[in-house]
Structure 1
């Protein structure tokens, strides 16, 4: 019982900020899996980035 109180005492808030992440500009989600997919502009930007950095 006292262990449950300690777990709650030592919890910290998350540090990550997902507003600026790559998946922040989602166009929608898939119905069953609820997986987000990006906007077409973000897909094109990612493709250009990969093509420029090929070795």
Structure 2
């Protein structure tokens, strides 16, 4: 009976770092979490505030 090792390397299926909508300012080194730019944060906040007023 053969024993199979788990695949050690992880390769994401999709790469969102280069997506135009992402507007990533930087990525956290250890967790690889994308940090949006200040402009993206302001736009998201404005959008949420507008949607909640409706």
Give the TM interval when normalised to the shorter protein: 0.5 to 0.7
Give the C-alpha shift of residue 31 in structure 1: 1.5
Give RMSD over aligned pairs: 1.9
Q: Distance in 2 between matches of 1:47 and 1:39?
A: 13
| Runs of at least 5 residues in structure 1 that lack an aligned partner in the other structure | 1-13
How many residue pairs align between the two structures? 37
**TM-score when normalising by structure 2:** 0.57
> What is the TM-score of this pair, normalised by structure 1?
0.56
Whichever structure has more helix as a proportion of its residues is: 1
